[in-house]
């Protein structure tokens, strides 16, 4: 089978790669297993120095890496540059902080000395998505490699150039053979990999079905897994909000990465007292977005990654309109090449319509009118997902309630939901389990080992 890289703005096939055959996969598994034994014994200072060199290469190669991502999955060039810079940041963060995070914790007991060590698990399989083809990988790899694990990357099949570029960054940074490798394999080969005893654990960022499949396979082998899945993040606007700032942030939160982000705001819950002025500002800003060639510096909204994603999104919009939603903007895919979908705003969305119940992976924003804070919180939580939530309010009491009562992995008040190496990231409910980033993420793939000395 060939794995193809296709430009979503034009439909042009950029490159094709043969999938790794069984012998190549076996060789890479063997190399990972051998490297795991050596890398865990490598001094921590050498491991973190590798992260520093990787960060420097990412910064040096920013333009080439960004262009590859833009051509391969359609994000704007500015967004791709920012993504590469963020990867350098996460490497530098763990280079500086891993020693403190991995330091043994002394605990007073009846022993002469007792402590908890944080030792690596071994080879971790990372099943990663296309939407942030560098960031999703580096936010796993930086803490995992710092902790002494080794990585095997099964990337999304539509971003093979990014997958190979990541492997090359680690190689050029000086990673010993087997410490980080890319596997060019189809999704159907993930389960056998998880069953292999040389794989110690797995992490996946992706869809609910993919997460469930990996969780089942990992469970069969009793292996640790971290899942970051979909989201239907609410964005609440309450009467005390700065409406200009809220509307500007809402647009950014909706169309980030061309709307293809798990933590993009996907449901806009607006208090009735400010609904009309907010909606007016929001629609105007959405309508002003410039859609086009993602390589053009003036472009603010590029294409969706694949024709199938665009077709599914349009189907969700049409079914929502058929159910009673009202189009305020967009909703009609343009003719011509590329997977473009226009900024779209829906109002009067029934609560059983797709735009209310399903994840919208593209620049489509449903607006909901709420009458109180209680109603806003209830509607925000009325979803199977629980990744992130944003809310705009100047009222400290409302902020406290929102922080405590929104059922999500993160709550951002007066700002858009984002990931940050210094803060734990992940979800609850059908958005997955486990955490990435911060010390929480680094410790997902370690053995918290009790040591008792009498």
CA 432/CA 228 separation, integer angstroms: 5
- Identify the CA nearest to 123 among candidates 47, 30, 253, 22: 30
Residue appearing with tokens 């911060």: 438
Please name the residues in contact with 24: beta carbons below 8 A apart, sequence gap of 6 or more.
none
* Secondary structure of residue 44 in the 3-state scheme: helix
Rounded Cα–Cα distance for residues 12 and 2 (Å): 15
From the candidates 72, 167, 228, 436, give the one annotated as an active-site residue.
228
Q: Is 59 a catalytic residue?
A: no
One of 72, 162, 262, 398 is an active-site residue; which one?
A: 262
Whether the CB-CB separation of 41 and 35 falls below 8 Å is answered with no
DSSP output for 348-366 = S--TTSHHHHS---SSEEE
Structure tokens at 252: 């950014």
Does 262 qualify as catalytic in the annotation?
yes
| The token pair that represents 152 in the structure block | 């095997």
What does each C-alpha distance from 338 to 8, 12, 131, 293 come to in angstroms?
A: 5, 9, 17, 9
- According to DSSP, residue 99 is labeled H
CA-wise closest residue to 52 among 87, 83, 81, 80: 87
Helices (H), 40-76: 44-60, 62-73
Strands across the sheet with 265-271, in order?
Answer: 326-329, 344-347, 364-370, 265-271, 233-237, 388-392, 410-413
Q: How many CB atoms lie within 10 A of CB 145?
A: 27
Residues annotated as catalytic are 228, 262
């Amino acid at each position: 089978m060939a794995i193809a890289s296709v430009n979503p703005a034009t439909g042009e096939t950029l490159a094709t790669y043969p999938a790794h055959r069984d012998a190549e996969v076996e060789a890479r598994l063997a190399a990972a297993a051998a490297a795991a034994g050596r890398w865990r014994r490598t001094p921590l200072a050498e491991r973190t120095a590798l992260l520093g060199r990787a960060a420097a290469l990412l910064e040096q190669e920013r333009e080439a890496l960004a262009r590859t991502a833009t051509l391969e999955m359609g994000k704007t060039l500015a967004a791709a540059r920012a993504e590469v810079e963020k990867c350098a940041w996460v490497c530098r963060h763990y280079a500086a902080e891993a020693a403190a995070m991995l330091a043994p914790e002394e605990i007073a007991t009846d022993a002469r000395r007792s402590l908890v060590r944080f030792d690596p698990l071994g080879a971790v399989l990372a099943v990663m998505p296309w939407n942030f083809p560098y960031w999703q990988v580096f936010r796993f790899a930086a803490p995992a490699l710092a902790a002494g694990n080794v990585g095997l990357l099964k990337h999304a099949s539509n971003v093979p150039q990014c997958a190979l570029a990541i492997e090359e960054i680690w190689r050029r940074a000086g990673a010993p053979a087997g410490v980080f490798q890319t596997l060019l394999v189809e999704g159907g080969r993930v389960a056998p990999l998880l069953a292999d005893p040389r794989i110690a654990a797995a992490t996946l960022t992706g869809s609910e079905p993919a997460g469930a499949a990996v969780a089942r396979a990992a469970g069969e082998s009793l292996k640790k897994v971290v899942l970051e899945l979909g989201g239907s993040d609410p964005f609440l606007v309450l009467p005390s909000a700065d409406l200009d700032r809220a509307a500007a942030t809402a647009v950014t939160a909706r169309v980030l990465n061309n709307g293809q982000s798990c933590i993009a705001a996907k449901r806009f819950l607006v208090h009735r007292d400010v609904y009309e002025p907010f909606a007016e500002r929001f629609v105007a800003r959405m309508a002003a977005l410039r859609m086009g060639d993602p390589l053009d510096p003036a472009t603010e909204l590029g294409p969706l990654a694949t024709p199938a994603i665009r077709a599914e999104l349009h189907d969700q919009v049409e079914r929502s309109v058929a159910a009673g939603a009202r189009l305020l903007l967009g909703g009609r895919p343009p003719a011509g090449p590329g997977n473009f979908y226009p900024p779209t705003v829906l109002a009067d969305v029934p609560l059983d319509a797709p735009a209310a119940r399903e994840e919208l992976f593209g620049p489509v924003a449903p607006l909901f009118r709420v009458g109180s804070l209680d109603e806003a919180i209830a509607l925000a939580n009325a979803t199977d997902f629980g990744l992130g939530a944003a809310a705009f309010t100047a009222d400290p009491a409302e902020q406290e309630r929102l922080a405590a009562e929104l059922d999500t992995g993160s709550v951002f008040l007066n700002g858009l939901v984002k990931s940050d190496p210094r803060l734990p990231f992940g979800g609850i409910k059908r958005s997955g389990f486990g955490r990435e980033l911060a010390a929480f993420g680094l410790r997902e793939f370690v053995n918290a080992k009790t040591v008792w000395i009498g």
